[in-house]
Amino acid sequence: MDELVVNKNPKSSVAEAIRVIRTNIQFSLKLKKGKRLLVTSSVKGEGKSFVSSNLAVSFAQKNLKVLLVDSDLRLGRLHQVFKMSNKNGFSELLVNDDGKKYKKYVKETNIENLSVITRGVVPPNPSEILDSPNMQTFLEEVEKDFDIILFDGTPITGLTDSLVFTKYVDKVVVVSAANYTKINLLENTIKSLQNLEVDIAGVVLNKVSTTASSSYYSDYYTDD
């Protein structure tokens, strides 16, 4: 199944909802070159990769140069979403290079303005790799070349990866799923981010039945 709905079916209610989210994020970010956005969730299965991928496509359709990075070094699946090789991904970049040679890890897509860095090999210590000195060098390099760097991160519950990673981004979007996400887990996720004084751009409610709502995403709010 092609998950890139914004590209495949741009007139659908799902695509329209993604564009609304994109617009809200743009206002929230006051978008300038090199802005960094993390998409996370409370638990696995809420659809953060679907949201991050379609958001990336939507930003690219606005003639913004976008780099989508799979920073879920445990179960990241952006290589499956974009149907590309997972070799030489983000984990290899952070372990083997200082970030200045990041371009050899970038994979082009068939969508204009959109590039992807896949997950790579699952490392034994993902949270430590994400917080390595090479990360800062990588970010300093990519922000020269891209308008927005969008990271698809790990879920928050039970893992430190995305919490550690928040210090490297400007905003965080939290994805939840209707009839799936437990409210206490979502509340704990928001609280964990707030405790770190993270700037939360909003919460996306995913997997809402299109028969019950005119939009696939029934709720999106910004804190600004």
Provide the 10 A C-beta neighbour count for residue 185.
17
Query: Rounded to whole angstroms, how far apart are CA atoms 193 and 104?
Result: 33
For the chain, domains (ranges, CATH) are 5-206 (3.40.50.300)
Query: Rounded to whole angstroms, how far apart are CA atoms 90 and 150?
Result: 13
Q: Compute the average pLDDT of residues 89-108.
A: 92
Q: Give the predicted TM-score (pTM) of the model.
A: 0.90
Residue 31 pLDDT greater than 70, yes or no: no
In this predicted structure, what is the pLDDT of residue 1? 62
Of the candidates 60, 46, 75, 79, the one whose C-alpha atom is nearest the C-alpha of residue 18 is 60
In this predicted structure, what is the pLDDT of residue 154? 95
Residue 212 pLDDT greater than 70, yes or no: no
Residue in the block written with tokens 């919490």: 163
Of the candidates 45, 46, 51, 69, the one whose C-alpha atom is nearest the C-alpha of residue 145 is 69
| pLDDT 10s digits, 146-187 | 999 999 999 999 999 999 999 999 999 999 998 898 999 999
In this predicted structure, what is the pLDDT of residue 29? 77
